[in-house]
Amino acid sequence: MPSTEPVSAVARHWRQLPVTPTRLRLGLSGGLDSTVLLHVLAGLRGALGFELSAVHVNHGLIPGASAWAVRCRQLCDRLGVPFLVREVVVRRDHPGGLEAAAREARHGALQEDAGGACLVLAHHQGDQAETVLFRVLRGAGMRGAGGMRVWDTRAGGVAIWRPLLDVPRRDLQAYADEHALLWVEDPSNQDPRFSRNFLRLEVLPRLEARQAGASAALARTGRLCAEAADLLDDLADLDLAAMGGTDDHRFNHSMALGLTSPRLRNVLRRVLHGAGALMPDEERLREAERQMRQETAAAGWRLVLGSHALCVYRDAWWIEPAGRPVMAVPQVWAGEPRLAWAGGAVAFNAAVGQGIAASMLHGVCCEIRPRVGGERLRLRSDGPARSIKNLLQEAAIPPWRRRSLPLLWVEGRLAWVAGVGVDVAFRCPPGEPGVVPDWSATA
């Protein structure tokens, strides 16, 4: 009996897509799954009206893996599919381990220069069952237990489509045998030292032997958990909207504290996920909530949660990249359009009638320095010079950012403070050339 399930699955999911892609980019490892999907898509592209290309990613982790790219190219040439090879370097110090590092590097390479193409991946039902079980054992919560999505637009804005997610591997094998397809076997997939391999090779087969359909049941559980996670996201979005999010994604702290603990942690997960942060475990998230609720947090509080930090200052809270503290060292500014500063940069933008009068910056000594204390700035012609400390407080600049704020000194006189403004003595008159300094905390 002909094996048509992979073709039927692709056609079925194509009709259910929220948008109709005109270009598809397939992640082609050369293994059974992606080889079958390439063959299916190549056969359907005329009827469904999409352009198809394929990308192979070489991690450089396995000796001889470069030969896989040759096999992939031969298959693509035979099917008339444009083909590209990308080489990546996998981080050995990734907090999620080597598997997570390789996966992150692979997805980054597949999405690079996508140009609006939809990324297609060949994960099948067994991969979904393995993912759900793996994440449940890690206590990943409802979102993690939801596994992979058939259609996913969360990853960097690139749409990802997994049309084989409910197809068992045996159907892919039958299709490959029927069409005499050849594929490569990754020897690392047989190494049970890796957690996912252990589940796939030793745990899931025993579950299937004990209870037929265990993999399908796990995949179905993943779909249900994904639906529940979407509902929790909807609730979080309602809570965030009530907190009056600003353009820079800051939210009302007092209103956040009015939520129950489960709802507040749900909101934190939502914002962390949206920022692309590595999700902290339950204990760490509970501790973050506890500290966030302390009365002292409003005076200025920042807690690093892996790749990002949860911040509170006055009546606002937000998520920002954790970064690493960089010592701010005084630097001479000789008119460059951009000057590196404390892990970020100060840009000097030309303007008319704004910023610092350009005439006051020519042929003089200009220097960018950090705060040392006691500095004063005069922002109003009818007012006195005021302490930078008070001005920073009024500007609602959090305490941890004040240490690295750049201050521009011209001939020993303070002309500009990031986040505060330009001293009246240096302000550009209307209609004259000016320079507007602008500091970004990240380069």
Residues 301 and 346 in one domain: no
Q: Determine, yes or no, domain membership for 80.
A: yes
Question: For residue 197, what is the enclosing H or E element?
Answer: helix 195-198
Q: Contact 251/243 with Cβ under 8 angstroms?
A: yes
In a domain, 372, yes or no: yes
Instruction: Report yes or no on 240 lying in a domain.
Output: no
Instruction: Based on the fold, state whether residues 299 and 434 are members of the same structural domain.
Output: no
Parallel, antiparallel or unpaired: strands 160-161 and 118-120: parallel
Question: Do the domain assignments include residue 35?
Answer: yes
Q: Provide the domain limits for residue 279.
A: 246-321
What was the pLDDT predicted at 106?
76
Look at residue 163 and tell me if it is in a domain.
Answer: yes
Q: Are residues 315 and 341 in the same domain?
A: no
Answer yes or no: do 163 and 34 share one domain: yes
Pair 112, 139 in one domain:
yes
Domain total in the chain: 3
198 phi-psi bin (left φ>0, alpha ψ -120 to 50, beta other): alpha
> Looking at the DSSP assignment, which residues form a beta bridge with residue 309?
304, 320
Whether 152 and 286 share a structural domain? no
Please say whether the beta carbons of 204 and 214 come within 8 A. yes
Residue 134 shares a structural domain with residue 217: yes
pTM attached to this predicted model? 0.70
Give a yes or no: residue 140 inside a domain.
yes
Q: Which residues pair with 53 in a beta bridge?
A: 25
User: CB–CB of 411/402 below 8 Å?
Assistant: no
Identity of residue 363: G
183 and 256 housed in the same domain: no
Q: Is 413 left (phi over 0), alpha (psi -120 to 50) or beta?
A: beta
CATH code, 286: 3.30.465
* E runs forming strands in 1-70: 23-27, 51-58
Q: In the listed set 281, 303, 321, which residue is the last one of a domain according to the structure?
A: 321
CATH number at residue 93: 3.40.50.620
Q: Are residues 283 and 153 in the same domain?
A: no
> Are both 306 and 358 inside the same structural domain?
no
Distance, in Å, from the CA atom of 69 to the CA atom of 73, rounded to the nearest integer, reads 6
Q: Is residue 238 part of a domain?
A: no
Name all contacts of 193-197 with Cβ < 8 Å and 24+ positions apart: 194/99, 195/99, 195/134, 196/99, 196/130, 196/134
Q: Is residue 89 part of a domain?
A: yes
Would you write out the chain's pLDDT as a tens digit for each of its 443 residues? 457 899 999 999 999 999 999 999 999 999 999 999 999 999 999 999 999 999 998 876 666 677 888 899 999 999 999 999 888 777 766 555 666 667 777 777 787 777 789 999 999 999 999 999 988 887 777 888 889 999 988 655 689 999 999 999 999 999 999 999 999 887 777 778 878 888 888 999 999 999 999 999 999 999 999 999 999 999 999 999 999 877 778 999 999 999 999 999 999 999 998 888 878 888 999 999 999 999 999 999 999 998 899 999 999 999 998 876 566 789 999 999 999 888 788 999 999 999 999 999 999 999 999 998 899 999 999 999 999 999 999 988 898 888 889 999 999 999 999 999 999 999 999 999 999 999 886 64
Together in a domain, 265 and 386? no
Q: Do 44 and 75 belong together in one domain?
A: yes
